[in-house]
Amino acid sequence: MRSHARIATGAAIGAWLGLGLALAAKAEERVPSVQEQQRPAQGIRETERATSAYQSAQELQPLRPGQTVTYDDVLKNPDDVELNYLYAQSQIAAGDLRGAASTLERILLIAPDLARVRLLYAIVLYRLDNLSEAEREFHALSQLPMDPRLREELEFYLDMIALRSKPTRYAATLAGGVQWDSNRNAGPSNGNVLFLDQSFPLVSGRKKSDWSGVMLAGLRATHDLGFEAGHQLQGGLQIYGQKQVDVTDLDLMAISGEAGGLYRNPLADVQPGLYVSYLNLGGESYVTTLGSGVRADHRFSPTLDGYARFRFDYEWFEKLDESPVTNERTGARVQGGIGAIWSPWPVLRLEGGGSWVHKDAREDFYTYTGPLVTLSATGLIGHGQFVIGSFAFEYDDYDGPEQIISDRTRRDHVYLAGLSYGVPMSLLLPFASTSRALRDTLLTLNATYLNERSTLENYQYDDWRFSVLWTKTFSF
């Protein structure tokens, strides 16, 4: 009798231990972090922001002042051509393009054959969107003798005018490089995991650093509808890939597309759009998204723009071999907010915005709501170089607890900070600076820090990310 009782007790204990181990293993399941889904969009956004900064830096290069000159300086010697030329550059640096145009016109009345003055005047007309006058000036300038570098600038702007005159324009981007993450798998910071509100050391899923190769290819199209206001149709397609060296279950491949338009009116520029994306994680289908949205931009002054935007997406998540519960994240995601862009000088652009995010899911412990705040600054530092700094804060308030982990409801504070430096390849390879192959080609160095603080230690982690990217753009 006693032996049978001991056997029964042992079997019961074994069963409970087996059940406990199975439940603990479930608690250790490493469901991909929310930020994992956002990596491709973040990579595309960083590349587009760097490309935009590079183009602004290229346009600004011949406009940078050799020294700052005031109107009082000009009044002391109004017939000094060099002084007036420097004053025009100072006006441009202050954002006064129309004033600079008047100053340059005054110089050209005295000395019409000064190539660098006429080139600067033509560029100012181009920046003022007076393309017909700018083209006329560039063609007149092409007949004058000039330094090879000035002629290179002239040809660049003639190409840009020809491109902007087309009703349908395309821009293609190719990017590739390497990336390193200090915590690629988002392992918990303290190496522990909660199970039924008890903390246990992780058996698997500890943080791992890893290298990866990154690639991006994109194509954007813009079609002018022929209205005087400048209404457009717009569309784009992007492919993003990230191949890990060791953590191969987090290999990424994403395809995204969008189609929409631009409607201009005196009150605002309105951009409605439709969006679709597909993300493959570790060789498995992970999430497909369909969405729509609208953005409206209003110009308050030549240096200040405001915007409002709203977007609705529905996300279909699929089960992964490593995380068979990921399909429970399926549901809608809604985001709306406002922001502003301030450019006090041509070399500086500041942007800030706030929005409200709600993510619905099949389970309360994957449903969250909260604010998102973003800040960024872009500085052009000369010779086509630029620096971009960014910061984002998100607070996620989840609807209910995940009982297998804890009776407490999850609350997350997510901080994301980034710094990028870009330099044209023509500056790094001056011996080939006149090569057309190097035009619109740049190298960027990027550093990003992500810190997620949570009420549940399973979701507390941080990650340092460093990357080097080569980017080439084509406009046609």
Q: Where is the domain boundary, 138, 164, 190?
A: 164
Give the list of residues 6+ apart from residue 429 with CB closer than 8 angstroms, or none. Answer: 438
| Residue 238 pLDDT greater than 90, yes or no | yes
Residues comprising the chain, all counted: 476
353 in any annotated domain: yes
- The pLDDT of residue 65 is 55
3-class DSSP state of 288: strand
CA 279 – CA 288 distance, rounded (Å):
6
- The pLDDT of residue 395 is 97
Question: Phi then psi for 359, rounded to 5 degrees?
Answer: -115, 120
153 in any annotated domain: yes
Torsion of Cα atoms, 204 then 209 then 213 then 219, to 10°: 80
CA 74 – CA 70 distance, rounded (Å):
7
3-class DSSP state of 21: helix
> 465: which strand partners?
181, 448
8 in any annotated domain: no
| Residue 21 pLDDT greater than 90, yes or no | no
- The pLDDT of residue 20 is 44
Q: Where is the domain boundary, 164, 181, 208?
A: 164
36 in any annotated domain: yes
Question: Phi then psi for 455, rounded to 5 degrees?
Answer: -70, -15
* 362 vs 123, higher pLDDT: 362
| Residue 10 pLDDT greater than 90, yes or no | no
Q: Which CATH number covers residue 77? A: 1.25.40.10
DSSP 8-state assignment for residue 145? -
Residues 364 and 456 in one domain: yes
Q: Which two tokens stand for residue 77?
A: 């010697």
3-class DSSP state of 293: strand
DSSP 8-state assignment for residue 167? S
- End-to-end, the C-alpha distance of the chain in Å comes to 89
CA 202 – CA 182 distance, rounded (Å):
18
Residues 252 and 376 in one domain: yes
Structure confidence by residue, pLDDT tens digits, 77-129: 887 888 888 888 888 877 788 888 899 998 888 888 888 888 889 888 988 88
**pTM: predicted TM-score of the whole model, two decimal places:** 0.84
Q: Which CATH number covers residue 38? A: 2.40.160.40
Question: Phi then psi for 236, rounded to 5 degrees?
Answer: -160, 155
Residues 45 and 69 in one domain: no
- The pLDDT of residue 131 is 86
Structure confidence by residue, pLDDT tens digits, 317-350: 999 988 888 999 999 999 999 999 999 988 899 9
Residues 337 and 458 in one domain: yes
Residues 226 and 87 in one domain: no
Q: Where is the domain boundary, 164, 195, 219?
A: 164
Residue 14: which pLDDT band, with cuts at 50, 70 and 90?
A: very low
CA 122 – CA 144 distance, rounded (Å):
14
Residues 121 and 223 in one domain: no
Q: Which of 7-16, 60-69, 408-417, 436-445 has the highest mean pLDDT?
A: 408-417
Lowest mean pLDDT among 102-111, 163-172, 268-277, 423-432: 423-432
Domain that residue 113 falls in: 64-164
Q: Which two tokens stand for residue 389?
A: 């700094």
| Residue 17 pLDDT greater than 60, yes or no | no
Residues 273 and 321 in one domain: yes
335 in any annotated domain: yes
15 in any annotated domain: no
CA 321 – CA 247 distance, rounded (Å):
15
| Residue 373 pLDDT greater than 90, yes or no | yes
Lowest mean pLDDT among 32-46, 150-164, 304-318: 150-164
Provide DSSP, 178-228. EEEESSTT---TTSEEEETTEEEE-SS-----EEEEEEEEEEEEEEE---T
CA 373 – CA 227 distance, rounded (Å):
36
354 in any annotated domain: yes
Are residues 251 and 224 in contact, defined by beta-carbon separation less than 8 angstroms?
no
User: Residue type at 200?
Assistant: F
Q: Of the candidates 375, 361, 268, 251, which has an alpha carbon nearest to the alpha carbon of residue 316?
A: 361
Question: Phi then psi for 153, rounded to 5 degrees?
Answer: -60, -45
CA 330 – CA 337 distance, rounded (Å):
23
Number of domains in the chain: 2
Structure confidence by residue, pLDDT tens digits, 155-182: 878 888 888 889 999 999 999 999 999 9
- The pLDDT of residue 9 is 47
CA 418 – CA 50 distance, rounded (Å):
12
Residues 122 and 260 in one domain: no
Residues 405 and 336 in one domain: yes
3-class DSSP state of 330: coil
- The pLDDT of residue 435 is 65
- The pLDDT of residue 64 is 58
Residues 109 and 220 in one domain: no
- The pLDDT of residue 24 is 46
| Residue 23 pLDDT greater than 80, yes or no | no
CA-based torsion, 428, 429, 431, 436: positive or negative: negative
Q: Which of 165-169, 190-194, 304-308, 323-327 has the highest mean pLDDT?
A: 304-308
| Residue 60 pLDDT greater than 80, yes or no | no
Residues 236 and 320 in one domain: yes
Average pLDDT, the chain: 87
- What is the helix (H) or strand (E) element at residue 102, kind and residue range? helix 97-110
Lowest mean pLDDT among 5-14, 155-164, 323-332, 441-450: 5-14
Residues 336 and 464 in one domain: yes
Q: Average pLDDT of 249-273?
A: 96
> 357: which strand partners?
335, 370
39 in any annotated domain: yes
